[in-house]
Amino acid sequence: MERLIYEGEETVMDEEMQEFRLRYYLREDLRDLSSGRCLYGIRIVCGRKMDGQWKTEEETAEAISDSRDYVRFLLEKFRRGRVTPASLLELVDEEGQKDEGKLPCRAQRRGGRDYREEIQVYRGREACCE
């Protein structure tokens, strides 16, 4: 069962000074009803007005991780960077290779209670467990 959770929006101007809106969603996919296990992903929707009508483009990176905190960290990073649907999948792949899909160990030991704390730890790039 899929659920989309709205996480934020950015308004951007392109080279032709046309306004478009980027909406960012956390995608929650319940995989096992008995355990409540979920996998999390990101959906980005780009909307722009063309010829008097709103046109949309979207992309979804499904099942990035079972860590909601990690995916929210990526989503916030992408939102601040104004990532568009066209580059979402490539950036998710790059992040996965760079970070091996995990938050630093200190964040893992704390139990992932508040993703904002996790982001601060991640930004600090504290040494990971060996």
Residue-level pLDDT, tens digit, the chain, 130 residues? 789 999 999 999 888 888 899 999 999 998 877 777 899 999 999 998 888 888 999 999 998 989 999 999 999 999 999 999 999 988 988 887 766 545 443 333 334 333 333 333 333 333 233 2
Q: Residue 18: its pLDDT value, please?
A: 84
For residue 79, give the DSSP letter: H
Q: State how far the alpha carbon of 91 is from the alpha carbons of 84, 96, 125, in Å.
A: 10, 8, 19
**Structural tokens at position 86:** 């066209």
State which amino acid sits at residue 104.
P
- What is the secondary structure of 89-117 as a DSSP string? HHHHHHHHHHHTT---HHHHHTT---HHH
Pull the structure tokens for residue 119: 């982001």
pLDDT per residue over 56-84, tens digit each?
A: 999 999 989 899 999 999 999 999 999 99
Position 130 scores a pLDDT of 25
